[in-house]
Structure 1
Amino acid sequence: MTVEIPVTSFGTARTDAAAGTAPKKELDKDTFLQLLIAQLANQDPSSPMDTSQMMAQTTQLGMMESLSEIQASSREQFALQMRMASADLVGQQVTWTDADGKVQSGVVDSVDYSGSVPVLAIGAEKIALDSIAGVRPAGSAPDAPETTPETTPATAA
């Protein structure tokens, strides 16, 4: 079945684009409903749209909305995990590579959540959470060997 959409429905999109608004690159439920209404309004009365096709399209719309909700929920969950992870770093010693390629280290003083990625304050430095390369307990030496029972000197009895 051929779907013809009136030219006037595209006029606003051109006006928006001319006004500086970028056209949408994704189909959303509003676009889907506009297309379905245009299809129903312009169908041949002697050969109407099959109801099973309409049900399939409606089901696809419902699935698309559900997937959109899951995606939004996943984004929120990831943002919360980043906030929790960055909060746990306060008081910890972290390492990162600066703009000159030099490995730096310092203790996290605070966290700023104003951006999309939490920013750690380490002294005067502001480091994005995703730039952190390592974490150690505060006060531990960067290259201190781990102590195991085999390497710990025995105490004199």
Structure 2
Amino acid sequence: MNVMTSIDSSLYLQNRPLERVPSPELGKDEFLQILMTQLQNQDPTSPMDESQFISQMSTFSQLEQTMNMANSIEKLVQQQNVSPILQYSHMIGKEVTYNTYDEETGEVVDSISGVIKAVSQDEGRAVMMLENETKIYADSIVELRNPEAGSDSEGSD
């Protein structure tokens, strides 16, 4: 039988982190832990002042509400990153007008209208497929209307 008479410090000292990196954030778990430690170690003959305790609980409540609000805002931001297909799908069946441009001068050559039959995406941009099989980018649309409203000649030159 082998009896250990001394502890080899190299076995446990090598495995510990060389430097403790403190967290810059104080979360609700850490706050509760500090509060509980404070309550456990208070002097029974001189307990914590009620107003001090209420102040700390109020601080904890504010911290929790702030964290909940931050989580809600983060979820809202994530929901705003909606696919262009979903973002523009309400335009299917609508009549649009878009401009065509002269490649050399950049001037408007013509305004063309068509009804959107499908929406897709190309490199994060919404692409509208018109009934005449023309594909246009959503940002090139200059007017959007219901097809039945397009029969009026209002606004035409």
User: What TM-score do you get using the length of structure 2 for normalisation?
Assistant: 0.44
User: What TM-score do you get using the length of structure 1 for normalisation?
Assistant: 0.44
Indicate the structure with greater strand content.
2
Query: Radius of gyration: which is bigger?
Result: 2
